Amino acid sequence: MRVTLLSYTGDAEDLCEICAKSCYSEDGASQIKNTECKSALINAIKSGHESVLEHASYTFSIEGISRVCSHQLIRHRVASYSQQSQRYAGIEDGYVVPKSVKDMGDEAEEIFDSIMGACKEAYNTLIELGIPEEDARYIVPSATCTNIVVTMNARALRNFFKLRMCNRAQWEIRCIARTMHEICCSASVLDPVPEMELLHIPAEDDKTAGVHCDAVLSADSLHFLLLPVLSVS
């Protein structure tokens, strides 16, 4: 899994602060000066006026994730997606093996690998027989790797983090959310952003979906556009 920040609003906090001030000012946004104190933005978010965050956007390339994960990702509707096409790009050999399968031992992993290999072989055979790729792909497993480009505004991202950084989210999308959150936090305080790319690092507290949502991260590590996105008990 690889998450790369392709593009983002570099002055996100300043821009959103000006937008928040413009709602209550007689002056236009072009005449409003920004200050280091983000009181207007903080007050807007506290009052639920989070539409001002929609003026900042972030575009990520997410590579090497399963189709299971991409299906979960695109359920977040306030976003733009461009996903690798199995119809034209074909099916690669890569696939995602869940940690639970690896932890179960060699027998479980051998069963998983054999099924994946059989599906890939069957797919290739169908292609050789003249079946179009767009039809042969019907037998491709959900573990097959895919790439997707995602653009979300800051408001949508905060909601995404709130839902997907929780331990109730499945491990793969939770890892993506945490990586994206770390990148966003860096992008909001660093200028320019050095090498905004992070490889997959398994979370120490990997748990399956359905586990009670404990305090996942400390309040200090949740800074993205000034306020935490998760409540920590």
Q: Has 164 been annotated as catalytic?
A: yes
Distance between start and end Cα atoms, the chain: 31
Strand partners, 8: 58
Distance CA 204, CA 218 (A): 14
Backbone dihedral region for residue 85 (phi beyond 0: left; psi -120 to 50: alpha; all else: beta): beta
**Which of the residues 155, 158, 164, 174 is marked catalytic?**
164
Distance CA 60, CA 1 (A): 13
Task: Please work out, in degrees rounded to the nearest 5, the angle formed at the alpha carbon of residue 42 by the alpha carbons of 16 and 163.
Answer: 85
One-letter amino acid at 23 equals C
Kind plus residue range of the DSSP H or E element containing 59: strand 57-66
Catalytic residues: 164
